[in-house]
């Protein structure tokens, strides 16, 4: 419901989300330049571990769909890692 705008997280929840994703609270509240903050996934990040665990449970058709989706995400440029620009 947060993603659709039907509910807003309280301050404690926002702080927890910011801590989990290692981002600034201003980023969550859209008060900062989005180029200023970014998430970086490294080879040791839990997101890759989770993706790998999920992928191991998929059949061949499911794996291909996952590859296709990730290819589309990369090609769009919307989800591409971008260098951190402070603009300061």
Residue recorded with tokens 């807003």: 8
What pLDDT, on a 0 to 100 scale, did the predictor assign at position 12?
Answer: 86
Return the SS3 of 22: coil
pTM (two decimals): 0.44
- pLDDT > 60? residue 88: no
Here the tokens at position 28 are 């969550």
Average pLDDT along the chain: 75
Return the SS3 of 59: coil
């Amino acid at each position: 419901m947060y993603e659709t705008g039907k509910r807003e997280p309280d301050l404690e929840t926002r702080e927890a989300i910011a801590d989990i994703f290692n981002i600034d609270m201003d980023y969550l509240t859209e008060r900062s330049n989005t180029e200023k903050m970014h998430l970086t996934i490294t080879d040791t990040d839990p997101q890759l571990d989770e993706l790998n665990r999920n992928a191991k449970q998929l059949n061949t058709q499911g794996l291909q769909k996952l590859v296709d989706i990730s290819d589309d995400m990369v090609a769009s440029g919307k989800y591409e890692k971008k260098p951190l620009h402070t603009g300061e």
